[in-house]
Structure 1
Amino acid sequence: MKMTSIPVIDIAPFLAGTPEGREQVAAQIRQAGEEIGFFLIKGHGVDQDLIDDTYAAASSFFRLPVDDKLTIRQPPGNIPRGYTPFKGETLAASLGKAAPGDLKEMIDIGPVDVPVGEYYSGPEAGYYFYKNLWPEKPAGFQGTMETYYRRMNRLANDLMAIFAHALDLPENFFFDKLDKNISALRLICYPEQDQAPEPGQLRSGAHTDYGTLTILMADKATGGLQAQHRDGYWVDVTPEPGTYVVNIGDIMQIWTNDRWVSTLHRVVNPPSEVADTSRRHSIVFFHQPNYDSIIETLPSCFSADNPSKYGAITYKEHWNYKWNATKAKM
């Protein structure tokens, strides 16, 4: 039967700690990971006031004059911080596809509460722990985003424990690969479209996410997210009130030897008749391993009959290749 919507999974029974609840949630996650790599979660425990405050702060920033937004423009090179103007990224390029710039603007925020030490500031660290660039307006923006980042990191760790359980591994299996993670919070605005897109131009071109998993909060504005089923057709991803969209990233696909899928997804344009009034915002947390984590097939995901399809790679090598390919030359 053709899938028309992605599954909704209540993770509260896992977080509550009962053996039956943990297995029930893990089984649902396992099925979603294998079939489409996308699902909605509820029962996640994130306070709705924090969600609302974060969304409001992001929306307020994107409604500022362009000159105000450019005060935190992303530095040149591969520094993943600050504001990227409209059409400044082409996500399809991360898969080697040629396309016009994506119809969005965004802010990238990296780790907060960064410790002192060689691991975080030495040559190998590159720009992964580079200082964040904070705007003066709107008031309270920095504090709100730092609080939200911390809460998303905690939720991502909860999800990784569920993933480990679903893959027949100890629930703390991934933690030493994530304890110095380089996760990113991205705020995205897809503005109203007052002119027709170029051929092949989308709000976000089709791509996969680089890390372990992604946690998305978005509104229901026309022109939204779609995920590609393993059978090749596209499924609309529509958040329900109180839920997050979660999707599997490249690293989980490598770790599971293609058992779980890092799903191709895109953000489509609104219909032309409403394009000039359809404005969309998304708050996205990209959970990513430590930069020096070795990414190779998990012990529960290969055998003599099912050999590993991937050689070992550091997350740093994977991320650098993907990130550099997406940046528009402006």
Structure 2
Amino acid sequence: MPDSGPAPGSVPAIDLSPVLAGVPGAAAEAGRAIDRACRETGFLTIVGHGVPLSLIQETRRQANAFFDLPRPEKARIARAAPAFNRGWGAVGEESLAKTLGAAAPPDYKEYLSIGPVDTSDDPYFHRPEAFPHFAANRWPDAPDGLRPAFTAYFRAMERLAADLMELFAVALDLPPGFFADKIDRQCGSLRVINYPAQTDGPEDGQLRAGAHTDYGSLTILHAEDRPGGLQVRQPDGGWIDVRPTPDSFVVNIGDLMAMWTNDRWVSTLHRVGNPPRADAAASRRLSLVFFHQPNYDALIECLPSCRAPNEPPRHPPITSGAHRLRKLNRANDY
């Protein structure tokens, strides 16, 4: 069950297995732990989540095989435009720090992104405002097993994100299904990120991923515990390293959840740091990152349970899709 609270400078861990097993009172207890974590750090780790380790390992294996391909092979599915979050992005194409207005070098990473894998002929997925949120995925010719592995992993993350959003509703004193009609056509993405070994060294001020906040409702990360990893900004301005385990996911809330909660929950600044120079030659790192994004036309405005009667909303209403496009364009403004 949820722990008794994080130690200073740590990310709390929550066991979801009693919730998924339907243990009485487990959802309410998990909701309290989630609320505490989201108020204090905006980050938590989860275990007992029900995602098979074999699926995680196979997705990682296929991803590593793709990133091992020669650059020209990967470039066959290069993304077509900054807001077109599909396909391969090379090292140096993006600067996440620029999403917050910072002047920063591009990030030292490459990635492969896909979007929803279960669309239909429903006009919702094809009208003009649906683009690029439901743009077609770009699949590589090799390795052969990548598409089925990524598809299965995306579906597993959608299910897990829906479970978490239901617990978010409990944590915020809302009906358990409050978010259901706002995420039933979620337009998030799976971004698999390769942080290459830094044999040549980064340029001045360059990080594997610059300091940023995430765009959507929540992010689910599976990462490796290797030098040069995720760091979370603390209220005192310091940074703490997040040390993942193979059976856990790191979860953090994004901008839209902070807006929905009137900043009761914090969309916390985080980054991916560089490895120590002594470890740089063996510092390759792979992350599986699922960015959950509410329906593109979902209106994000202050929830009634998240402000006092005379307290004004801190953020103007905005649709999920409009916010996402704004952040994507800033990240790729080169």
Is 1:81 equivalent to 2:86 in the alignment? yes
1:277 matched residue in structure 2: 282
- The aligned amino acid for 2:20 is L
Regions of 4+ moved over 6 Å: none
Q: Is the 8 A contact 2:9 2:234 kept in 1?
A: no
Is 1:12 equivalent to 2:17 in the alignment? yes
- The aligned amino acid for 1:304 is P
2:175 matched residue in structure 1: 170
Q: Is the 8 A contact 2:133 2:321 kept in 1?
A: no
TM-score scaled by structure 1?
A: 0.97
How far apart are the structure 2 equivalents of 1:22 and 1:74?
Answer: 40
TM-score scaled by structure 2?
A: 0.96
Is 1:290 equivalent to 2:290 in the alignment? no
Is 1:219 equivalent to 2:224 in the alignment? yes
**Inter-CA distance 270–37: structure 2 relative to 1 (3 Å threshold):** same
2:40 matched residue in structure 1: 35
Q: 1:109 aligns with which of 114, 122, 131?
A: 114
Q: Is the 8 A contact 1:14 1:162 kept in 2?
A: no
2:309 matched residue in structure 1: 304
How far apart are the structure 2 equivalents of 1:100 and 1:301?
Answer: 37
Offset of residue 231 of structure 1: 3.2
Offset of residue 2 of structure 1: 7.1
How far apart are the structure 1 equivalents of 2:51 and 2:122?
Answer: 31
Q: Is the 8 A contact 1:13 1:25 kept in 2?
A: no
How far apart are the structure 1 equivalents of 2:160 and 2:177?
Answer: 14
SS in 2 for 1:292: coil
Is 1:122 equivalent to 2:136 in the alignment? no
SS in 1 for 2:37: helix
Q: Is the 8 A contact 1:74 1:80 kept in 2?
A: yes
1:66-215 aligned at under 5 Å gives the runs 66-215=71-220
How far apart are the structure 1 equivalents of 2:305 and 2:312?
Answer: 11
How far apart are the structure 2 equivalents of 1:256 and 1:77?
Answer: 29
Offset of residue 81 of structure 1: 0.4
When the two chains are superposed, the root-mean-square deviation of aligned CA atoms in Å is: 1.3
1:319 matched residue in structure 2: 324
- The aligned amino acid for 2:64 is S
How far apart are the structure 2 equivalents of 1:81 and 1:183?
Answer: 11
SS in 1 for 2:119: coil
Offset of residue 276 of structure 1: 1.9
**Inter-CA distance 7–172: structure 2 relative to 1 (3 Å threshold):** same
SS in 2 for 1:273: helix
1:48-63 aligned at under 5 Å gives the runs 48-63=53-68
How far apart are the structure 2 equivalents of 1:32 and 1:310?
Answer: 22
How far apart are the structure 1 equivalents of 2:116 and 2:36?
Answer: 31
How far apart are the structure 1 equivalents of 2:38 and 2:81?
Answer: 36
Offset of residue 123 of structure 1: 1.1
SS in 2 for 1:72: coil
How far apart are the structure 2 equivalents of 1:5 and 1:309?
Answer: 28
SS in 2 for 1:274: helix
- The aligned amino acid for 1:303 is A
Q: How many pairs are equivalent?
A: 329
SS in 2 for 1:138: coil
1:148-173 deviation digits (Å, cap 9, x = unpaired)? 10010000000000000000001110
1:119-167 deviation digits (Å, cap 9, x = unpaired)? 1111111211111000111111111101110010000000000000000
How far apart are the structure 2 equivalents of 1:149 and 1:241?
Answer: 18
Higher deviation after alignment, 296-305 or 185-194: 296-305
Q: Is the 8 A contact 1:3 1:235 kept in 2?
A: no
Unaligned runs of 5+ in 2: 1-5
SS in 2 for 1:148: helix
1:284-326 deviation digits (Å, cap 9, x = unpaired)? 0000000000000011001224321112111121111100011
How far apart are the structure 2 equivalents of 1:189 and 1:241?
Answer: 17
- The aligned amino acid for 1:78 is A
